Chains A and B, each alone.
Chain A
Amino acid sequence: MPLRQPRPAPAAGSSGPRDRLDAADPAERRRAAQALAGQPRAVPRLGARLAIETDRAVRAALLDALVAIGSDTALGAVTALLTAEEPGARAAAFEAIARIEDARAVTLLLPLLDDAAADRRVHGLTALADRRDPLLVARLMRLLGEETDANVCAAAADLLGRQGDAAARPALLRLKARFRAEPFLQFATDAALARLAEA
């Protein structure tokens, strides 16, 4: 019967200095990214590759390496991926950002709330969900007063309901009045107000 003992382990497994981030083989690119996880000087190369990488597993390894290095430029490259065209790239960015500690994530993500595209403001708020930070609460209050996009407002109201206190109530009530004709906004602000009342 052809059940047989394996031959000696294939050499392909070991990662070597020759693994390259621009190799044609995704397995080689992934190994290269994993090998660079502890090397702050590799951030520009990791970030450049991340911007164009299309293989999910390589992208995940690049993001892991950048989060592990953890410098401002490394994490900046991670959050920059939120503005990628491809939803798959954004999904990977959301997942990686979840592993960045609150205060740093907030600092990195707040500028996205000023982006000209409403889509990107929503993505910024999505990535900020469940972050606890006083800076964030202040920014959300300001946003509720000026923002015109209904989806951005709903996401901001939801976040504020989770983190704010009684001081957030008037802003939420004004928002509710402003979007009287929009059922989802009514629902989201009511939910946020109910949460504040419980807190």
Chain B
Amino acid sequence: MVPHTKVSDDDFRQFRDYFHRETGIHFDSSKRYFVDKRLSERVRETESISAKAYLTRLAQGGADIELQHLINAMTVNETYFLREEYQFKALVESVLPEIVARRSHRRPIRIWCVPSSTGEEPYSVALYLIERWPALATWDVEILSSDIDTEVLERARIGRYSPRSVQHLPRAWLARHFTRCGDDYQLSHEVRDAVHFTRCNLAAPRETRAFRDIDVIFCRNLLIYFDDASRRQAADALYDALAPGGFVMLGHSESMARMSSLFRARKFPQAIVHQRPEDAA
């Protein structure tokens, strides 16, 4: 057995500050156990002599590939299909009908899921539209999905899921869109091809600038990891990515009211959703 690499208080602080600078993601001391575990994995993996040596090498720069590995290790995210389903309901029953009602020309509807994680969320959007939004017959929809973690993006593109991940999907949806693959479920080509995956760091304005004219953003359970300043910056990036009148869906415990004064809360039967006002005068 490989000995556990010791992560000192000093190492933790150095990691925390460095990681926050690079990604906007803040780990406080309550996440210490998690950080220590993942960090020692990277120290071992890179055959560094200590956590300090590993962090020093990273801080010197030029270690982009290792930084990406570290990001991948620190942002593991457990999710599943139809998590917080009321938001998908809000999407097809309230949000999209409002968007198409005020749209005079047939520009495609653009939906952006960030973070993508292993794909359950963008694919849930795709499945919900196929199964529950009859207007899909007449409207083009583009689904984009981004994550800072390249490894989960690769897994998302493959689209193979455990029984636990798909347990909340109706049986009929499973039968129509998945094939059994040993214990796992393989998502169909058609649905996988409907989502476009890209790497994007929400804390880097240069990277978010490519996203414009989005009608709906799903950004759930990500901003809770950011500190106040990064959160404000991320909220600005989301605002700029949205078309006027576009909506952002946050996680159940998150509130845009705390992060930004640019959005307006809107009440729909299924949920409160935050909107970039159509007219900001």
Binding site for B on A (CB under 8 A): 1-6, 9-10, 12-15, 26-27, 30, 54-58, 60, 91-92, 95
Given A3-B126, A13-B211; A55-B144 close (CB under 8 Å): no
Collect the chain B residues with CB atoms within 8 Å of residue A57's CB.
239, 262, 280
List 8 extra interface pairs beyond A1-B130, A2-B136, A95-B261, CB under 8 A: A1-B190, A2-B140, A2-B141, A4-B194, A5-B193, A12-B212, A56-B262, A56-B281
Give the distance in Å from the alpha carbon of A58 to the alpha carbon of B280 in the complex.
9
A-B contact pairs, 24 of them (CB 8 A): A1-B136, A1-B190, A2-B137, A2-B139, A2-B141, A3-B126, A3-B129, A3-B141, A3-B142, A3-B143, A3-B194, A4-B108, A4-B194, A5-B142, A5-B196, A6-B108, A6-B110, A9-B211, A10-B212, A12-B213, A26-B280, A55-B280, A56-B262, A56-B277
Cα-based distance from A30 to B236 in the complex (angstroms): 11
Residue of B239, B277, B280 with most chain A CB atoms under a 10 A cut-off: B280
* B280 adjacent to A3 (CB under 8 Å): no
Q: In whole Å, how far is A68's beta carbon from the nearest beta carbon of chain B?
A: 12
What residue of chain A has the Cβ atom nearest to residue B260's Cβ?
A60
Complex Cα distance A1/B211, Å? 24
1/0 per residue B188-202: CB within 8 Å of A? 001101101000000
User: Across the interface, which residues of B come within 8 angstroms of A6, CB to CB?
Assistant: 108, 110, 142, 144, 196
Chain A residues within 8 Å of B191, by CB:
3
A4 to B143, CA, bound (A): 8
Report B-chain residues with C-beta under 8 Å of the C-beta of A3: 126, 129-130, 136, 141-143, 191, 194
Min C-beta distance of B105 to chain A, whole Å: 15
Residue in B126, B212, B239, B280 whose CB lies within 8 Å of A9: B212
A175 vs chain B, min Cβ distance (A): 34
Q: A27 CA to B139 CA in the complex, in Å?
A: 26
The interface residues of chain B lying within 8 Å CB-to-CB of A54 are: 281
B205 to chain A minimum Cβ distance, whole angstroms, is 8
A2 and B106 alpha carbons, distance in the complex (Å): 12
B209 contacts chain A at the CB level, 8 A cutoff = yes
- Of residues 160 to 182 in B, which have CB atoms within 8 Å of A's CB atoms? none
Q: With CB as the reference atom, state the residue of chain A lying closest to B110.
A: A6
**What is the bound-complex CA distance between A14 and B206, given in angstroms?**
9
User: Does chain A have a CB within 8 A of B41?
Assistant: no
Taking a contact as CB atoms closer than 8 A, the residue among B139, B140, B212 that contacts A13 in the complex is: B212
Distance (whole angstroms) from the CB of A27 to the closest CB of chain B: 8
B213, A10: Cβ atoms closer than 8 Å: yes
Q: In the assembly, what is the distance between CA of A20 and CA of B139, in Å?
A: 34
A132 CA to B163 CA, complexed, in Å: 57
Asked whether A56 lies within 8 Å of B280 as measured between CB atoms, the reply is yes
CB interface residues, B 191-238, toward A, < 8 Å:
191, 193-194, 196, 209-213
Taking CB as reference atom, which chain B residue is nearest A14? B209
Given contacts A2-B140, A5-B142, A60-B262, contact A13 B209 (CB under 8 A): yes
Pick the most buried of A1, A30, A56: most chain B CB atoms within 10 A of its CB: A1
Residues of B within 8 Å of A55, CB to CB, are 280-281
Q: How far is the CA of A57 from the CA of B242 in the complex (A)?
A: 12
> What's the nearest-Cβ distance from chain A to residue B137, in Å?
7
Least CB distance, B230 to chain A, in whole angstroms: 14
